[in-house]
Amino acid sequence: MCSQLSGKHFCDCINWKGVCIYQEYIWNGNKAKEERKNYLYPIIKKEEVEKDIILITVAVSHKMASNLIEPGSFVFMRNPKCMQYYDAPISIMESNTEENSIKVAIELKGSKTRSINVLNVGEKILIRGPYFNGVLGLKNVKNAKKGNSLVIIRGIGQAPALPILKKLNANENKITVIMDNTPFEKLLISDEMLKYGSTMINCKMIERGKLTAEFKDIITKKIEELEPNLVHIAGPDLLSYEVLNQVADNLPVSCCNNGRMCCGEGICGSCTVKTNDHKLRRLCKLQTDPRFILKGRRKL
Amino acid sequence: MKVVIIGGGWSGVAAAITAKKAGAEVALYEKTDMLLGLGNVGGIMRNNGRFTATEEMIALGAGDLFALTDKNSRHKNIDFPGHKNAWLYDVNKIEPEVKRYLENLGIELNLEVRVVDVKKELNKIKGIILSNGTLVTGDVFVETTGSTGPMGNCLRYGNGCSMCVLRCPAYGPRVSLSSRAGVDDLQGEREDDVFGAFSGSCKLSKDTLSGEIVKQLEETGVVVLKVPEEDINLDKLKTKVCQQYALKEFAENIVLLDTGHAKLMTTYYPLEKLRKIKGMENVKYIDPYAGGKGNSVRYLSVAPRSDDMKVKGLDNLFVGGEKSGLFVGHTEAILTGSLAGHNAVRVYLGIPPLILPKTLAVGDIIAYANEMIKTKQGRRDRYTFAGASYFKRMLELSLYTTDVAEIKSRVEKVNLKDIMSQKLI
């Protein structure tokens, strides 16, 4: 947060990201930058992997595809016939800057995702983006180079995990994936995992809200054996939270940002969490170590 | 015992030396790739009362850095409007020499490392937090992060980032650690309720000046050129940090000094107007790069401190340089930094801190600046041995002298000879 834009009178820039956003604001005529816009893009491919899980490929502009290339990228998607409350935050599974397309996996759960499923190839879908904060601990992902990385994936977490695997592979890491495909039958990313040279261990991770003994055992052994430069967790918060309790506090970690994104602009407040320092924080904008959010969250 | 110094300008470097000489293990953190900060574009030493202060510091055992600036002087004992017996060090030679000097003393230098926060327990600093999240612990801390910038401050209180030698856009913004530790900063003012002041000079590339100007600069160290009548702007003087150079002569004339580059003694000056002056038709700025538009803004971050340089309200944080008061200049930074570094060790050992007596100019300025910052007028003044109100005070109190033997005897009289080079641990 910029201290001056938060109403203070002097710089106290402890979260500098490489540019002075106060300067950007002033040079923009004392106005905030424009919010992201909605774009209508055609669906060019749609596959039903199995019941209630679809893969959609959308042709987008080159700019949009390049903006969505990094791990943690997401967009809001909506059937153009629906009102804006139907905006569903969807992680980017793959962004192709050669063919200018994006691929997403959607688990059909409620009214938002089901209204998207009504659309077919050739029809246009409304996309708002790009957004970037879909992964917490991005710094740790980017710093993991030429080592062993451990990636824990459960269910639909496969989709946002794919750009992570790609990045880790590009940074010359050896990747070990622990996979729990619940609730699906088929793997979404088996080909890609091979492409990025990962070895995979299948294992059931959660039973009655607790980690299974088998999974705990695998984590402990793998961490000892691999001395990983990163443990990434792509699954529900419960999984991330329990895994964080299993690993050493100084181990670099990252995980899915499961905040309930609604506006994505730091305004509406639907993604807020209250951390132990009694501050309300917006997960759509806050980039931090997962421990700060998951272990430091106030339960009430 | 470990002293951690944050900020590698003249003041931090001075603190590192005195703390090391007193026997501590010393680690210094600097956010850019060079030591000396604004000292890389400074150069003026020993002018007016700074001569007295310099010799006092040498007698007090803190003359290391003055020996280096003296050795690297391009010009000695020159006069320019309002100033006598100035020495000008070569800004293109001084930094590597100081860096080697510190390395030879065994001081741990951490360059390109930015400090963003502190870890505190009660009134004690436990450690500093680097921008990558690492915690560095220590026993005593000396903050010499200065009061200049960062970009947002230069924008709000000045004309925006003018791309000065501190290079905030490249190395990141300065963070006030005393303020992070919960002690609010004080600010200097340039007019009623207008905070901060512009840095007082720019550097021009000598290659872009006429042969005649360059020749005179290199022979005499000074060139004074008339400003065209229509461009004289007396109002600009009051925006200036360096009140010792805020004289009418500096508005009516362009004063250039030879510090390796040509030092232009004005806050900023539109390039087009500068190029109207004979011999400067092709002139270009070297520091700040946008010297035609503005300059860095300073004095926005002064920590309240006592005369031993300790921050009020914290047990183990000391300050030096501009962080410790509305001081101007290298001599003043070296003085306050040296004392902060020395007292850091004393406080750790439980020995009473050194407070320099008011019979010496160096002791008087520290106490006087501290007294004055409490007043409205005092916050509009700057404190330097080189001129403005403080040099006047030096003259009135007969603190000013260029008699080296006399200065030595004043230091001996108060039993402080070589005090800051004593090993305490």
One-letter-per-residue 3-state SS of B101-140: HHHHHCCEEECCCCEEEEEEECCEEEEEEECCCCEEECCE
The answer, yes or no, to whether residue A247 has pLDDT greater than 60, is: yes
Residue A110 sits in a domain whose CATH number is 2.40.30.10
Task: Annotate B85-98 with b (16+ C-beta within 10 A) or e (fewer).
Answer: ebbbbbbeebbeeb
Instruction: For residue B175, give the nearest of A14, A20, A26 by CB distance.
Output: A14
Which residues of A touch chain B, with CB atoms under 8 Å apart?
A: 2-4, 9-14, 16, 18-20, 22-23, 26, 289
Q: Closest residue of A to B160, CA-based?
A: A23
| Residue B92 is assigned to a structural domain of this protein | yes
The pLDDT assigned to B140 comes to 98
Cα of A290 to nearest chain B Cα, Å: 14
Domain count, chain B: 2
The pLDDT assigned to B122 comes to 94
Residue type for position A30? N
Q: Do B155 and A26 count as a contact with CB atoms less than 8 A apart?
A: yes
Residue B168 sits in a domain whose CATH number is 3.50.50.60
The pLDDT assigned to A298 comes to 66
Instruction: For residue B153, give the nearest of A10, A18, A289 by CB distance.
Output: A10
Q: Categorize the per-residue pLDDT at A299 as very low, low, confident or very high, splitting at 50, 70 and 90.
A: low
Query: How far, in Å, CA of A298 to CA of A285, rounded?
Result: 19
The answer, yes or no, to whether residue A300 has pLDDT greater than 60, is: no
Domain count, chain A: 2
Domain around A280: 135-294
ipTM of the complex in this document: 0.86
The pLDDT assigned to A83 comes to 96
Q: Do B150 and A289 count as a contact with CB atoms less than 8 A apart?
A: no
- Residues B115, B264, single domain; the answer is no
Question: Measuring CA to CA, which residue among B258, B233, B243, B293 is closest to residue B80?
Answer: B258
Helices (H), chain A: 21-27, 62-67, 111-117, 138-143, 158-170, 190-195, 213-226, 237-246, 290-294
Of the residues B287, B317, B340, the one at which a domain ends: B287
Q: How many CA atoms lie within 13 A of A159 on its CB side?
A: 25
- Residues A261, A144, single domain; the answer is yes
Which positions in chain A touch B160 (Cβ < 8 Å)?
23, 26
- Residues A142, A277, single domain; the answer is yes
Of the residues B255, B287, B319, the one at which a domain ends: B287
Cα of A220 to nearest chain B Cα, Å: 26
- Residues B20, B169, single domain; the answer is yes
For range A49-64, the mean pLDDT: 96
- Residues B162, B31, single domain; the answer is yes
- Residues A91, A203, single domain; the answer is no
Task: Annotate A170-183 with b (16+ C-beta within 10 A) or e (fewer).
Answer: ebebbbbbbbbbee
Q: Categorize the per-residue pLDDT at A277 as very low, low, confident or very high, splitting at 50, 70 and 90.
A: confident
pTM over cut 0.95:
no
pLDDT in tens, chain B (425 residues): 999 999 999 999 999 999 999 999 999 999 999 999 999 999 999 999 999 999 999 999 999 999 999 999 999 999 999 999 999 999 999 999 999 999 999 999 999 999 999 999 999 999 999 998 899 999 999 999 999 989 999 999 999 999 999 999 999 999 999 999 999 999 998 877 788 899 989 999 999 999 999 999 999 999 999 988 888 877 777 776 666 777 788 888 999 999 999 999 999 999 999 999 999 999 999 999 999 999 999 999 999 999 999 999 999 999 999 999 999 999 999 999 999 999 999 999 999 999 999 999 999 999 999 999 999 889 988 999 998 899 999 999 999 999 999 999 999 999 999 999 999 99
- Residues A261, A162, single domain; the answer is yes
Percent of chain A with pLDDT strictly greater than 90: 85
Domain around B115: 2-196+297-421
Residue type for position B384? T
| Residue A299 is assigned to a structural domain of this protein | no
